[in-house]
Amino acid sequence: MDAGLIAVIDIGKTNAKLFVLDALSGQIVWSRQRPNEVIATSPVKQLDVRGVETWLVRELAEVPDKKSIRRIVPVAHGAAAVLVDDEGSILVAPDYEDVAFESTREAYTRERDSFEYTFSPQLPLGLNLGAQLHFLEVEHPPLFRRVAHVLLLPQFFGWRLSGVMASEITSLGCHSDLWRPLERGFSALARNRGYAGRFPPLRRASDALGTVRQPIAAITGLDPDCQVICGIHDSGASYLSHLCRQREGSAFAVVSSGTWTIAMASEPDLRKLRQECDMLANIDAFGSPVATARFMGGREYQAVVGDRDMEIMPTAMSLRSVLDQRAMALPSFVRGSGPFPHNEGEFLRAERLEPSARAALGTLYVALIVDVMLDRLEARGDLVIDGPLARNPLFAPILAAFRPASRVQLGESSSGAASGGLALTRGMRRGVTGRDRDSTVEPLAIDDLQAYRTQWRECVSS
């Protein structure tokens, strides 16, 4: 592995981040972050991809040792694509949370492949990328006729940096309705509607698209020989970083967190996926299906804790207060998401909780949901936690107490996207990340925790 630096662009649904990592140690040496915006415009709400690009170029220019950046890796959330015309102009970058997509749901339902082929559940709003394309084709045909290229979000930024268009499997196969994992090909929907032909050629996530465009190098001061890597879906990056660290045939699971909390289990039995419970098959960077369960954990935690107290961390003492009062949060606070999509969120005996106890309640609530998701996935082996939940002092110890058969670990980096981006530059081979530097978590030893778990599960199943 060459010495130098790696830049990882992490475009999440809520925030855009730029990490600069030491290529040898994998340590993050510099980072920046900005909140993402959604633009209210016609024909649908749009992602602010132009704003993110402007910010990214500005921040790359500020990296202290930018001449040492050897590779740039784009990572981004799923269900997102930018539609571009023949001249390279951006036509639309739909935001999947627009209710406009519901207007064509009935017609779209008749067109999409069944779950047994795509392992992609029909999701609300525009969370199926196919639903976004169908809406634009049916409701705005003049615009859609101008679409020459559908660029998945990581590869959009790869194109803007390198000038080379590509597609990649982890984003294409992320509950898009456009891919059949077992056949390793486009879905009937994608073929019949002509969507497949608008995607650029598939490349491996680790492929170098080319060097940074000359104008980008001139503006930022990057080395003109800096390579732009094809890129990967964000939870796919988190999963890859641990897949490369595992022994062949060793079962494991990853919990990737952020706006979405996503549990992914190796050795999947796809027949046991329940689409009505937000379970699906994602695709890993090698093209293989990954059994997945998910919910909007970041949004749910915010609903429990409250906007003003999001930065407060829970303590063992505040958790004790929750258990003593038998305060509970019952799902779901984001309807249509997660293992209990039709339940209405509610609180029991929680009105007197102090902010720290509220944070403990939110942490406990998210751990209970994740525990259910892992059960339904029949997850085995090591369990690795990435993202913001890895920084919560109680989440991993609570989950370890709930799942004594698993060794629960915290990812070595605070960002699964950063770790996955680094793995792409190291060739996507098992064992290349060196010794296991994830930290094992001791189960939280606190009275009444197991009894609380039993009571909570009885409440949500009644």
How far is it, in rounded angstroms, from Cα 278 to Cα 299? Answer: 16
Check residue 435 and give its pLDDT: 40
Mean per-residue pLDDT for 309-324? 94
Q: What is the pLDDT of residues 197-211, one digit of tens each?
A: 999 999 999 999 999
Check residue 173 and give its pLDDT: 96
* Region of poorest pLDDT, from 251-265, 355-369, 434-448: 434-448
The pLDDT confidence band at residue 56, using thresholds 50, 70 and 90, is very high
For 5-230, the fitting CATH number among 3.40.109.10, 3.30.420.40, 1.10.3720.10, 3.40.50.970 is 3.30.420.40
DSSP string, 57-120: HHHHHH-TTGGGEEEEEEEE-SS-EEEE-TTS-EEE-B-TT-GGGGGGHHHHHHHSPPHHHH--
Q: Is it the case that residue 434 has pLDDT exceeding 50? A: no
Query: 357 Cβ partners below 8 Å, 6+ apart?
Result: 314, 318, 319, 321, 322, 327
Q: Cα-flanking dihedrals φ and ψ of residue 54, to 5°? A: -60, -45
Domains 5-230 and 245-462 are alike in CATH topology: yes
Check residue 430 and give its pLDDT: 60
What SS3 class is residue 362? helix
Confirm if 161 and 213 have CB atoms less than 8 A apart.
yes
The residue assigned the tokens 């109680």 is 394
Q: Is it the case that residue 75 has pLDDT exceeding 90? A: yes
For 245-462, the fitting CATH number among 3.40.30.10, 3.40.50.720, 3.40.190.10, 3.30.420.40 is 3.30.420.40
Region class of 459: left (phi > 0), else alpha (psi between -120 and 50), else beta: alpha
Count CA atoms closer than 13 A to 373's CA, side-chain side: 35
The residue assigned the tokens 């029909």 is 122
Mean per-residue pLDDT for 119-138? 97
Q: What is the DSSP letter of 308?
A: G
Q: Is it the case that residue 151 has pLDDT exceeding 70? A: yes
Provide the 10 A C-beta neighbour count for residue 381: 16
Q: Which two tokens stand for residue 105?
A: 């749901």
What is the share, in percent, of the chain residues with pLDDT greater than 90? 86
Q: Is it the case that residue 1 has pLDDT exceeding 60? A: no
Across 49-62, b (16+ Cβ under 10 Å) vs e yields: beebbebbbebbee
Check residue 249 and give its pLDDT: 65
- The pTM of the full predicted model, rounded to 2 decimals, is 0.91
Q: Is it the case that residue 420 has pLDDT exceeding 60? A: yes
Mean per-residue pLDDT for 152-170? 98
Check residue 433 and give its pLDDT: 47
Is the N-terminal amide bond of 43 cis, ω within 30° of 0?
yes
Determine whether 104 is exposed, middle or buried from the number of CB atoms within 10 Å of its CB (0-12, 13-18, 19+). Answer: middle
The pLDDT confidence band at residue 29, using thresholds 50, 70 and 90, is very high
Q: What is the dihedral of CA 402, 313, 233, 421, to 10 degrees?
A: -100
Q: Domain map of the chain by residue range?
A: 5-230, 245-462
Check residue 2 and give its pLDDT: 59
Q: What is the dihedral of CA 453, 355, 309, 76, to 10 degrees?
A: -10
Which of 176, 195, 196, 59 is CA-nearest to residue 127?
A: 176
Determine whether 102 is exposed, middle or buried from the number of CB atoms within 10 Å of its CB (0-12, 13-18, 19+). Answer: middle
